[in-house]
Chains A and B, each alone.
Chain A
Amino acid sequence: MYTLSNKVKLFALVFMVLGAIGIGAGFMSVPANTDEVAAMQAAHGDGHGETADHGEAGGHGVSSEAHGTNHGEGGHGSEAEHLEHTLHQMQNRPWSALYVASFFFFMIALGTLAFYAIQHASQAGWSPVLFRVMEGITAYLPVASVIIVVLLLLSTFHVNHIFHWMDPELIDPESDHYDKLIAGKSGFLNTTFFLIRAVIYLLGWNLYRFLSRKYLLHNDNAEDNTWFKKNFKLSAGFLVFFIVTESMMSWDWIMSFDPHWFSTLFGWYVFAGMMVSAITVIAMVTIYLKSQGHLEMVNDSHIHDLAKFMFGFSIFWTYLWFSQFMLIWYSNIPEEVTYFVTRIEDYNLPFFGMVALNFIFPVLMLMNSDFKRVNWFVIMTGIVILIGHYVDVFNMVMPATVGTSWGIGLPEIGAVMFFLGLFVYVVFTALSKAPLVVKRHPLLKESEVFHY
């Protein structure tokens, strides 16, 4: 049995408190009206002035064609409209920061759950000693689900405006802001259906997590392999459900930030990022527990395997990132390409920097077979990968919600720290609830003597 140490508890608490302060400060520093925006810009030496023209397109991710028909060209030049626009971006910023961080930790838990299901469905012989570690990480899923639902509800009740399409004026033909394209998508993108879908996904995932954990705990004290077989079938079924709902989740919770834009492989792209972050966290938690003297069954070969997965999924993520980018760059169709235009113009460093963090770095660090067995090497690479995938989510969300008014400051760092603290607390509490290694699992022996 693992007992939650006071050090971990203190770490989690400090991070949550500091994070909450950061989030609070982020909300406090939001300007309330356009006058304050003007004053802030004057204080900044009008740094934002230059970006005024494309800031309009960047803010909503709206193609210029659609914009022309809705607002008329006259709107672009007006100083008042620009200030109004910047105000909305700045008001979105703490919300987006909160959303990005909560989604990032949510997707670690969900990715771990998918990886866990794959291990059961494929009857992998190496991983049973890691099942409890994975279950510990997925224990964050229910918590994250509640947070996500609350954030989505706040958006649908217009407490914040990070989901542009939720503005009822856009689908009202009488309104000045009527948007034909968004109105055309309102059969799918309407808040009622959106919330129903969200609840279906989350209930399905949490149900699997609950049942699978229960079955495996039953299996510890069982006489035969009934629970093991049940869990196998459940996991296979879950994977079918997961791949459909994960795709739809990525359209709903990420792609709909840019409601004028669409991409077919987007769901896989989000999935790849999710998997690599999840496996990295599994490796890190395993190495931590092992260094504390728990998990003596885990040997270097298990770490080696996890590091291979980190390496492989990093390349898979890059493959999808590049496929999405290159196809759109090559054909250069205006309605698709604005997505990358805003990112390259306004988010140049995060956009290309994450490719270095998520691809070049892990490829060079984890290529060598010996390095994959060096624990501190895996941890260091893991930290870089996690930062890279945070930036990835940041790049997917921020350009559509805050546009050019982005930054990595108090709200962003605060939100990450808060959710990191919460994540660590929930995960390590869950780890202390059951023995760290499953008992009498049919593949346990194979896993214990696993070597590569």
Chain B
Amino acid sequence: MSKIIHAIYNDDDILMNAVKEVRKQHYHIEEVYTPFPVHGLDKVMGLPYTRIAICSFIYGLVGLSVAITMMNFIMIEDWPQDIGGKPSFSYIENMPAFVPIMFEMTVFFAAHLMVITFYMRSKLWPFKKAENPDVRTTDDHFLMAVDTGKSEVKDVTDFLATTGAVEINIMDNEDAH
């Protein structure tokens, strides 16, 4: 059974170099835990780009459509009253009055649905059990979890020690790949 090795670092520059070295050796990095965003870490880890901006754009279009459909039905089709002389004969004639709502609905949908998408994709919700392997990673330590796979555990730990890890722990791999 393969093991998970937790290598702990106390500096983000050393961590970045370690990630590069580990990737060069073709060991598999399960996860990296950091107390703050480390600029460029996703690039050196080779993580794919996020597509959340594309989601947000689509949600914005949904919001715009909701606003237009809603106001067209209420103000133009259902009960086209004369309110203060505003032309309610067609949507386009009265459109300037609807633009503030169209804008706000677009932003509302784009922002909120994007945030909810983020929560769902990163599996965050109230009462969720924290997946923190070491409490120090929320304060001042950085942790890289490396899956040994078919490699010898000792080879991997020795290698990780050379990358500047201040502490190395060997854990059982619970979900055995």
- A377 proximal to B (CB < 8 A): no
The prevalent SS among residues of B at the interface is helix
Beta-carbon contact of A325 and B57 below 8 Å: no
Bitwise, A348-372 to B at CB < 8 A (1) or not (0) is 0000000000000000000101000
Which of A32-40, A326-334, A381-389 lies at the interface with chain B?
Answer: A326-334
Question: Which of B53-102 touch A at CB < 8 Å?
Answer: 53, 57, 85, 96-97, 99
How close is A43's CB to chain B, nearest CB, in angstroms?
Answer: 36
Beta-carbon contact of A367 and B97 below 8 Å: no
- A322 proximal to B (CB < 8 A): yes
Size class of the contact patch on chain A: under 10
Beta-carbon contact of B97 and A322 below 8 Å: no
Beta-carbon contact of B85 and A325 below 8 Å: no
Beta-carbon contact of B85 and A326 below 8 Å: no
Number of B residues near A (Cβ < 8 Å) is 6
Please report the C-alpha to C-alpha distance between residue A98 and residue B110 in the assembled complex, in whole angstroms.
Answer: 45
Please report the C-alpha to C-alpha distance between residue A329 and residue B96 in the assembled complex, in whole angstroms.
Answer: 8
Please report the C-alpha to C-alpha distance between residue A369 and residue B97 in the assembled complex, in whole angstroms.
Answer: 32
> Considering only CB atoms, which chain B residue lies closest to A367 in the complex?
B57
What chain A residues lie within 8 Å of B53 (beta carbons)? 369
Beta-carbon contact of A330 and B85 below 8 Å: no
What chain B residues lie within 8 Å of A322 (beta carbons)? 96, 99
Beta-carbon contact of B57 and A326 below 8 Å: no
> Considering only CB atoms, which chain A residue lies closest to B100 in the complex?
A326
The prevalent SS among residues of A at the interface is helix
> Considering only CB atoms, which chain B residue lies closest to A325 in the complex?
B96
> Considering only CB atoms, which chain A residue lies closest to B53 in the complex?
A369
What chain A residues lie within 8 Å of B97 (beta carbons)? 326, 330
What chain B residues lie within 8 Å of A325 (beta carbons)? 96
Bitwise, A309-343 to B at CB < 8 A (1) or not (0) is 00000000000001001100110100000000000
What chain A residues lie within 8 Å of B57 (beta carbons)? 367
How close is A263's CB to chain B, nearest CB, in angstroms?
Answer: 16
Bitwise, B93-127 to A at CB < 8 A (1) or not (0) is 00011010000000000000000000000000000
> Considering only CB atoms, which chain A residue lies closest to B57 in the complex?
A367
What chain B residues lie within 8 Å of A330 (beta carbons)? 96-97
Please report the C-alpha to C-alpha distance between residue A79 and residue B99 in the assembled complex, in whole angstroms.
Answer: 43
What chain A residues lie within 8 Å of B85 (beta carbons)? 332
Please report the C-alpha to C-alpha distance between residue A247 and residue B86 in the assembled complex, in whole angstroms.
Answer: 32
Please report the C-alpha to C-alpha distance between residue A332 and residue B86 in the assembled complex, in whole angstroms.
Answer: 10
How close is A221's CB to chain B, nearest CB, in angstroms?
Answer: 36
Please report the C-alpha to C-alpha distance between residue A325 and residue B96 in the assembled complex, in whole angstroms.
Answer: 8
Please report the C-alpha to C-alpha distance between residue A322 and residue B100 in the assembled complex, in whole angstroms.
Answer: 10
Instruction: From A326, A332, A367, A369, give the contact of B99 (CB < 8 A).
Output: A326
> Considering only CB atoms, which chain A residue lies closest to B85 in the complex?
A332
How close is B172's CB to chain A, nearest CB, in angstroms?
Answer: 42
Please report the C-alpha to C-alpha distance between residue A326 and residue B95 in the assembled complex, in whole angstroms.
Answer: 10
> Considering only CB atoms, which chain B residue lies closest to A332 in the complex?
B85
How close is B80's CB to chain A, nearest CB, in angstroms?
Answer: 18
How close is B53's CB to chain A, nearest CB, in angstroms?
Answer: 8
Please report the C-alpha to C-alpha distance between residue A210 and residue B85 in the assembled complex, in whole angstroms.
Answer: 55
How close is B104's CB to chain A, nearest CB, in angstroms?
Answer: 13
How close is B158's CB to chain A, nearest CB, in angstroms?
Answer: 36
Instruction: Show the binding face of A for B, using Cβ within 8 Å.
Output: 322, 325-326, 329-330, 332, 367, 369
Instruction: Show the binding face of B for A, using Cβ within 8 Å.
Output: 53, 57, 85, 96-97, 99
The 6 closest A-B pairs by CB, nearest first: A326-B96, A329-B96, A330-B97, A322-B99, A326-B99, A330-B96
Known: A322-B96, A330-B97, A369-B53. 9 other contacts (CB 8 A): A322-B99, A325-B96, A326-B96, A326-B97, A326-B99, A329-B96, A330-B96, A332-B85, A367-B57
Q: List 12 A-B contacts (CB under 8 A).
A: A322-B96, A322-B99, A325-B96, A326-B96, A326-B97, A326-B99, A329-B96, A330-B96, A330-B97, A332-B85, A367-B57, A369-B53
